[in-house]
Amino acid sequence: MSLSPMTPDEQYATGVEALVAEPAVTLGSPGRKGFGSSALQVNGKIFVMLVGDRLVVKLPRARVDTLVDAGETERLGPAPGRVMKGWVTVDGASGECWLPLAREALAFVGLAGER
């Protein structure tokens, strides 16, 4: 008997459970609905969220470029022809890299908030 792989929602929930234990990390915003409502934040800034079946993380532009060039992620494009330079998306099938990327995003956004 083989175990079925986790769904993107299950992978995200597992990541949320691990990350909300970190200092200053919160889930969502009170009263917020829609885009980013279930996002993880550090010091009030979103660093990771689930959009559809894709993990979306905030990383330094150079790291984004490296991941995209390696074919591991795609840039977040909120509209055709537009991209958000500091954000990448990871397909739900790539579950094994979600938590490490989310931790990387936490470190990046958390440090940016201290400057």
pLDDT at residue 23, as a whole number:
87
Q: How far, in Å, are 33, 41, 83 from residue 37 at the CA level?
A: 5, 10, 21
Residue 3 lies in a domain: no
CA dist 55 and 23 (Å) reads: 21
pLDDT at residue 1, as a whole number:
45
The answer for residues whose C-beta is within 8 angstroms of residue 42's C-beta and 6 or more apart is 22, 24, 25, 26, 106, 109, 110, 113
> What average pLDDT values come out for the chain (115 residues) when binned by 10 residues?
70 89 84 71 91 91 93 83 86 72 93 57
φ, ψ dihedrals at 36, nearest 5°: 80, 0
Burial of 65 (0-12, 13-18, 19+ CB in 10 A): middle
The boundaries of the domain holding residue 99 are 8-114
Number of domains forming the structure of the chain: 1
Residue 2 lies in a domain: no
Residue 1 lies in a domain: no
Residue 24 lies in a domain: yes
Residue 14 lies in a domain: yes
**CATH number where 90 lies:** 3.90.1150
